[in-house]
Structure 1
Amino acid sequence: MTATSRSRGSTRTIGLTAVLALLLGSVVAVFGLGQTAHAATGLRVSDGRVVEANGSDFVMRGVNHPHSWFTDRTPQALADIKALGANTVRVVLSSGDRWERNSESDVAAVISQCRANRLICVLEVHDTTGYGEQDGAVSLDTAADYWIDIAGALEGQESYVVINIGNEPHGNQGYERWTADTAAAVGKLRDAGLDHMLMVDAPNWGQDWTNTMRANAQTVFDADPDGNTVFSIHMYGVYETRAAVSDYLNHFVQAGLPILVGEFGHYHSDGDPDEDAILELSEELGLGYLGWSWSGNGGGVEYLDMAAGFDASALTEWGERIFNGPDGIAETAREATVFGGSGPDPADPTAPDPTDPAADCAVAYTVTNNWGSGFQGAVRIGNTGATPLDGWTLDWTFAGTETVQNLWGGRVSQSGPAVTVTPEAHTAHIPAGGAVEIGFTANGSAAGAPSGVTLNGASCATG
């Protein structure tokens, strides 16, 4: 069956031979490889899971953004995607073989914008799409050359950037070369000194209906001297049933191999994927997902836009589902700890003074971004006492009708204006004189500083 690809720009469409086989594998995730990544300076694989440099689990929850075709839209798009609760964005780039090349300086700017919006940045080369079947598509070896050429933009970004070597690197012809081609590209990047987490897409237009990636993932993982490669499956028409989603993902979980759903939609011309199962099983297994796509789809797949015309206030049915529905981004995303503070910033006038004798705790509440109908805030909790805190409960009362939509660094419950936050494992310990930071997005207008701020039931100094 021939269909129009869902992953192209507004007027750039690519004919792809879609696949409607079924039989793939079971539930998602990442447990057990007894291998440890050599490069522990940033995001890495540990025992089959994606973790940050400090060992905290990181589960990607986000969407794809077509930067290469809409470069002028990227700054606002990233801000909007973050405001809706995402912790990751997958960014389309071009090596210059099929579309205009994204230069080293442009990629550096994208990374800077991701970091400013506290988003982990998955960068992918799109020119490999359907190699062997699609006219003009280039090999993973060519994509690896691109990454090496722009290495200056990537250096030092291991905690913030994942390199997705090439999008959907084989179509339905020549996919037998996927294992050798992928392992060689991984080796080439490592030889060039790139120690970032690598992400590799499946063949068969990303859907692996032949089970090529499933059968050979261990071989590719073992070919990475850093042990830092994550596998990405794209779920469209092949994954019409919960059983198909579960079977494919569970194969990787049981093998202890790291996997995520790097693209998926609520519908596609090659079939009707079960997006509810994808979201639910990903959450159940603690696996990442990145939906396709924010906006700008063309060629008959405009229904995959999440925001009509790049307008965050005009979410489509698909946008509402993935951001605000059950097991969606707003409900499940947790921000990377690399964006949180382990202590107060002395250059920040709102940071609590750990020497303040007025109380055993000091809480600084800051609105960091405000778009009228909602806002983003940060709360820094300082321990001004003489003994460390191990576990805490923070309470506050909003000044108006604000409602927390998504919170990272802790777990939240809310009743009316009253909010209660308990910590995640990585924020539970606050040393004497130290601090931790949580962040959140909220619906409603920011009405001012909250009242009734307490930590473990005791009033805190606020600022």
Structure 2
Amino acid sequence: MRKRLGLVAAAFLSLLVSMLIVPAPAHAAVGLRVSGTRIMEANGNAFVIRGVSHAHTWFPTQTSSFAAIKALRANTVRVVLSGGRWPANSASDVANIVSLCRTNRLICVLENHDTTGYGEQSGAYTLDQAVTYWNSVRSALTGTEDFIVINIGNEPIGNNNAASWTSATTSAISRMRSLGFQHLLMVDAPNWGQDWQFTMRDNAQAVFNSDPQRNTVFSIHMYGVFDTAAEITAYLSAFQTAGLPLVIGEFGHDHSDGNPDEDTIMAQAQSRGLGYIGWSWSGNGGGVEYLDMVTNFNAASLTSWGQRIFNGANGIGTTSREATFFGGGGGDDTTAPTTPGTPSAADVTSSGARLTWSASTDSGGSGLAGYNVYREQGANDPLLGQSTTNSITLTGLSPATQYQVYVRARDGANNLSGNSPTTTFTTSPGGSGGGGCTAAGTVQTQWSNGYVVQPVTVTNSGTSAVSGWTVTFTLPSGHTVTGSWNATLTVSGQTVTARSLGYNGNLGPGGSTSFGFQAGRPNGNTATAGSYTCTAS
């Protein structure tokens, strides 16, 4: 999906005097609540959001993403829902999401995406309509105040008539409370979430005071408007000076409207004790595929953005702490798990291997959260993958290359064990000296704005066996991949790369296999089978 954002703002204005009023304390809030600039749990423990967004409404079958996001040490997931602008998420579906949140020990921010760009984007819903949706699923949310945050509406006003945000948001909060919702509420800024006209910043105190429970947190989305450290720090400082709660509800490492300064965003959030939620786990389209953190919802295939937000400086991996509601120590558990056993390598191919090791134990009370697998290369060992069990299949390795790997265990409080003993293995050389492949596709079916290409047949055209293949092709402008099978697909602009899976990479001379994909296209555009380039390994 394309996230449409505002233009870069002029210089930040000085704070209004009204924002300097110290906010009243929380009134009779239950569960998660705000106190000054901080989010607190019911027991008084401060909670700092470290999470990512997951586009559930467009990918409702990807429920394994909750466990995968947790395994990468996030303490929060922001879940995209719809009340009808897209296929609606019913009360039973929301109840399942709530169960997944609890099971995976994640604070969940549930957001209604229908409101995105209201007043500027056709089909967008009002905040009042969003409240009506929340009321329709209220049965699924009763009693969840300890771990569910309700983000009333995503980016509820575009760049037209941003001034209407204040009254619309105040009214939505008032109606949510009158309907009996006791949850911590989150409200997004106008200007497609970026508030470059400062409507939210300058009216936040009045909106906060309109909540009879004083239990609303403000959410700023930081994309191209926030491309300098000065703009980021000025905006965050405004809310902290005013004593008002703020989270960075969305941000990325790049965007079509400019290059956000993600390093400053993350560093400032950490130093100020502010929460952040990156956009987004997987499934982006419309030209912003680079915002995917993992490829095709595969947690073992982190993109560069995924590596940055999970494993980089001030990233989720080192700064996230599980909510004490789920038994997390809030940082109190300092006991590291035991060191895992020596990993053993099996099923070694030219591009991958399967590792297994004896499991760790944890006596610190947080429970094992997973394992990290590293390649031995000195002080900055690259992370090869993560696993919540004592095995993992590594992919994307180079042919005829020696790898030395070790494993570290991680518990729920993010304590890391010592390094396991290393193991060494060498990938096979692949199909050199006679390996080669060809690929050709067929349009199987098509409709007004989409089509299916199946099969794309991959054939070993060489004289020796191959253990893997990579197929590249280019889609016409405006066409997007919306689904695939029997291959791992990555997208960069209009260029698509399909890679073999563990079960269909090995092909003898003359042998063949196939994969397929579904694509979207502008109405009336021609469906295309494409022209394919195949490389064997």
Fold shared, TM-score > 0.5 on shorter chain? yes
Does the 8 Å contact 1:330/1:406 carry over to 2? no
Name the structure 2 match of 1:91: 79
Is the aligned partner of 1:204 residue 2:209? no
**Counterpart residue identity of residue 116, structure 2:** T
Task: Report the alpha carbon displacement of residue 412 of structure 1 after superposing the two structures with TM.
Answer: 4.2
Task: Report the alpha carbon displacement of residue 233 of structure 1 after superposing the two structures with TM.
Answer: 0.2
Task: Report the alpha carbon displacement of residue 335 of structure 1 after superposing the two structures with TM.
Answer: 0.3
Task: Report the alpha carbon displacement of residue 407 of structure 1 after superposing the two structures with TM.
Answer: 4.6
Task: Report the alpha carbon displacement of residue 174 of structure 1 after superposing the two structures with TM.
Answer: 1.4
**Superimposed CA distance per residue, residues 67-106 of structure 1 (whole angstroms, 9 cap, x where no aligned partner):** 0000001x2111111000100000000011x101100010
**What is the root-mean-square deviation of aligned Cα atoms in Å?**
2.6
Question: Residues 69-108 of structure 1 correspond to what in structure 2 (within 5 A)?
Answer: 69-73=58-62, 75-96=63-84, 98-108=85-95
Name the structure 1 match of 2:408: 403
Tell me how many residue pairs correspond in the alignment.
357
State the distance in 1 between where 2:222 and 2:93 align.
30
Task: Decide whether aligned partners of structure 1 residues 17 and 83 sit closer, same or farther in structure 2, where only a CA change above 3 A counts.
Answer: closer
Structure 1, 38-47 or 81-90: larger mean CA deviation: 38-47
**Superimposed CA distance per residue, residues 203-240 of structure 1 (whole angstroms, 9 cap, x where no aligned partner):** 00000000000000000000000000000000000000
Is the aligned partner of 1:60 residue 2:49? yes
Task: Report the alpha carbon displacement of residue 376 of structure 1 after superposing the two structures with TM.
Answer: 5.1
Task: Report the alpha carbon displacement of residue 341 of structure 1 after superposing the two structures with TM.
Answer: 7.3
Aligned to 1:199, the other structure's residue is in SS state strand
**Counterpart residue identity of residue 264, structure 1:** F
**Counterpart residue identity of residue 41, structure 2:** E
Question: Residues 156-195 of structure 1 correspond to what in structure 2 (within 5 A)?
Answer: 156-195=143-182
Is the aligned partner of 1:132 residue 2:119? yes
Question: Residues 436-447 of structure 1 correspond to what in structure 2 (within 5 A)?
Answer: none
Task: Decide whether aligned partners of structure 1 residues 46 and 245 sit closer, same or farther in structure 2, where only a CA change above 3 A counts.
Answer: same
Name the structure 2 match of 1:427: none
Name the structure 1 match of 2:247: 260
Is the aligned partner of 1:339 residue 2:314? no
Higher relative contact order at CA 8 Å, sep ≥6: structure 1 or structure 2?
Answer: 1
Name the structure 2 match of 1:388: none
Which ranges of structure 2 fall in alignment gaps of 5 or more residues? Answer: 15-19, 330-362, 374-384, 390-404, 422-537
Does the 8 Å contact 2:371/2:408 carry over to 1? no
Aligned to 1:71, the other structure's residue is in SS state coil
State the distance in 2 between where 1:119 and 1:366 align.
14
Does the 8 Å contact 1:367/1:375 carry over to 2? no
Aligned to 1:232, the other structure's residue is in SS state strand
Does the 8 Å contact 2:368/2:409 carry over to 1? no
Question: Residues 205-284 of structure 1 correspond to what in structure 2 (within 5 A)?
Answer: 205-284=192-271
- TM-score w.r.t. the length of structure 2 is 0.63
State the distance in 2 between where 1:363 and 1:288 align.
26
Which ranges of structure 1 fall in alignment gaps of 5 or more residues? Answer: 1-7, 343-361, 378-399, 419-463
State the distance in 1 between where 2:115 and 2:365 align.
47
- TM-score w.r.t. the length of structure 1 is 0.73
Is the aligned partner of 1:294 residue 2:299? no
Name the structure 1 match of 2:316: 329
Aligned to 1:312, the other structure's residue is in SS state strand
State the identity as a percent: 54
Question: Residues 342-381 of structure 1 correspond to what in structure 2 (within 5 A)?
Answer: 367=368, 374-375=386-387
- Alignment partner of 2:141 out of 129, 133, 154: 154
Task: Report the alpha carbon displacement of residue 269 of structure 1 after superposing the two structures with TM.
Answer: 0.4
- Alignment partner of 1:319 out of 306, 322, 328: 306
Larger radius of gyration: 2
Which has a greater percent of helix? 1
**Superimposed CA distance per residue, residues 9-29 of structure 1 (whole angstroms, 9 cap, x where no aligned partner):** xxxx46x36312243489xxx
Task: Decide whether aligned partners of structure 1 residues 42 and 366 sit closer, same or farther in structure 2, where only a CA change above 3 A counts.
Answer: closer
